[in-house]
Amino acid sequence: MERITLHYAEAGTGDQLVVLLHGFPEFWYSWRHQLKDLAAAGYTVVAPDMRGYNLSDKPADVSAYEIEELVQDVSDLIEHLGFEKAVVIGHDWGAGVAWAFSQRKPEMLTKLASLQVPPPSIWKKNQTVSQFLASWYMFFFQLPWLPELMLTSSDFRKLAIALKTTTAEKGVFSDEDVALYKKAWSQEGAITGGLNYYRANILKRMFGKGIPPKKIDVPTLFIYGEQDHAVLPQTVANTGDIVSGEYRELRIPESGHWVQNEARETVSATLIEFLSDG
């Protein structure tokens, strides 16, 4: 499939590359704290707008958002920046892409970190009625045009409320933050681009058999804010079962889904320790 152009934010000039992948409905800005913190620790840090988001290209075909295309974007970005390998860190959909990258491009991966979302095989193994109900929006997003109408109406009211009210503690996202998110959501095609991640992948992920995953043999870190109402605690149980290499896990009881924003200092410190070891 035709390659695309990605917009990205970059900080630092270290010898080791760290790629930060955001989720829905965010953009590179969700990693603003870690861009600064990891760069200060001596790394070259890049946070792209994933395809379909903000200032990156937004292909029209749903098939352009299949996981293989998203993985290739990360691979192309690493090569574009002049590196052969990178640490890949993802949150939400970015975590899904990071797990997939470990399966499809292991030769380009030095370390892996995932925030909030386990690998698909673990998700399916741990699936419960409660998680199925918590994931209702994933199925709603399969519909044409109606999700776009709902999410864009009244100046993105539902998305803005979701950001400000689903954190464990209030005040994590300021009015200024939300204004920047609204500007990103307002880019032509951006809402549909984000929704197409669900349309291209979710039914396959939840109901398809797929190829049995290979064990991940690079150092792997999983961070989970335990007050997440979208990805329930039982759903991430035994995430380390897919890892044959070094595995670390951090649970943060006082954080919800937006963990790199809600627990900035803890997440950044943990990532820096993880990156520096070995």
Q: ∠ CA(220), CA(111), CA(21), 5° rounding?
A: 95
Which of the residues 29, 53, 65, 257 is marked catalytic?
Answer: 257
Question: Taking a C-beta distance cutoff of 8 angstroms, is the pair 42, 113 a contact?
Answer: no
Q: Which residues contact 133 (CB under 8 A, 6 or more apart)?
A: none
Long-range contacts of 151-157 (CB under 8 A, 24+ apart): 151/25, 151/185, 151/191, 151/195, 152/185, 152/191, 155/182, 156/181, 156/182, 156/185, 156/186
Q: Which of 27, 163, 26, 23 is nearest to 9 (CA)?
A: 27
174: left (phi over 0), alpha (psi -120 to 50) or beta: beta
Which of the residues 43, 65, 181, 198 is marked catalytic?
Answer: 198
In 3-state terms, what secondary structure has residue 136? Answer: helix
Q: Is 92 a catalytic residue?
A: yes
Q: Is 181 a catalytic residue?
A: no
Q: Is 257 a catalytic residue?
A: yes
Which of the residues 49, 92, 197, 228 is marked catalytic?
Answer: 92
Residue positions annotated with a catalytic role = 92, 198, 257
